[in-house]
Structure 1
């Protein structure tokens, strides 16, 4: 079997709609977010998953459930969103007033995770993922998903700022060559933010 990782961002929340940094606060999906998650399930209906891993946060678990993937889902703590520390619940514009030029992917958050912290967490998860085979569903979050994507292909965490993830989106991570004896298992992104 060939490893294919389906990375799904959770559906809309009040904070994702308003642009507030939503890290570890455990908020539910909006009605629209629930509809997005159900539509996500329709898009995933023809894919059989050998493994389903989900962030422990409610919005990701709800998305997994509404997408119909929760029967054998396993909570994976590494999939939790970037810890925003002092910037939790604040918008970019609000943070810029206090700290002009701030960039999450470069500066991290005071009393939260640094770029090095989240990069190490993504790398630990990747080590687990490459030991799996078949189709793997991951239900996670915007910023962590972006970090996971860039670390998968060997880019530094700072490159994550250039990879947008919409709510209830699907991205697929894979290897360019399925067999290691062919040319090596070069990590690749098959699709992003679909």
Structure 2
């Protein structure tokens, strides 16, 4: 899509989801939940590439995960001064699978999936769905355009719950680093306006 979403109107929110830029663990495919690691140099470049896109919008509210990779992305993208920390935007807690790749986990558990398997010492899919739905309630009580800086799995859950009230749909929503997605409305129905847009567009 070459055009940004239209402005929110009629007191309905328009939510811009921004995934953080690249980290060493996102590059290697390691599950990064509660581990607080910074962006790589390339990740900071990715975040800066979002500045023109975000500067062209008027955001009524900017929310950011408390984790460093999200906060750095928000700052490099030019919205750090406006941001409010929102703990519910932190990434899925992967428990005993923290820092491991899916390929590595499958050696021991061939059928494992974060979407369908238990997460010992971590967060169940029901728990993360409840967290996403509580944020959606906040969004629905807010009019205007909202920027949200967060993480891949949580934003996939958030998009899924926005559309279907089911976190499991997030398994089918891929999300790249430093991508922009937009949630909004089609008449009275909650809708996905854009998904996984990367800048500069090629």
Global fold match (TM > 0.5): yes
The match for 1:142 is: 152
**Aligned counterpart in structure 2 of residue 3 of structure 1, from 13, 16, 19:** 13
Q: How many residues align?
A: 187
TM-score normalised by length of structure 1: 0.94
DSSP 3-state at the match of 2:58: coil
CA distance in 1, matches of 2:165, 2:84: 28
The 5-angstrom pairing of residues 1-194 of structure 1 reads 1=9, 2-177=12-187, 185-194=188-197
Partners of 1:72 and 1:109 lie apart in 2 by 35
| Partner Cα distance (1:93, 1:147) in 2 | 22
| Cα distance in structure 2, aligned partners of 1:187 and 1:139 | 20
Runs ≥4 residues deviating over 4 A: none
For 1:30 and 1:43, locate their aligned partners in 2 and report how far apart those are by CA, in whole Å.
21
Q: SS in structure 2 opposite 1:8?
A: strand
Q: Secondary structure at the match of 1:137?
A: strand
Q: CA deviation at 1:42?
A: 2.2
Structure 2 distance, partners of 1:118, 1:107, is 13
The structural deviation recorded for 1:108 is 4.3
Structure 2: which 5+ runs fail to align? 1-8, 198-202
CA distance in 1, matches of 2:118, 2:146: 29
Secondary structure at the counterpart of residue 136 of structure 2: helix
Deviation digits for residues 29-67 of structure 1 (CA, Å, limit 9, x no counterpart): 000000000001222120110000000000000000000
TM-score by length of 2: 0.90
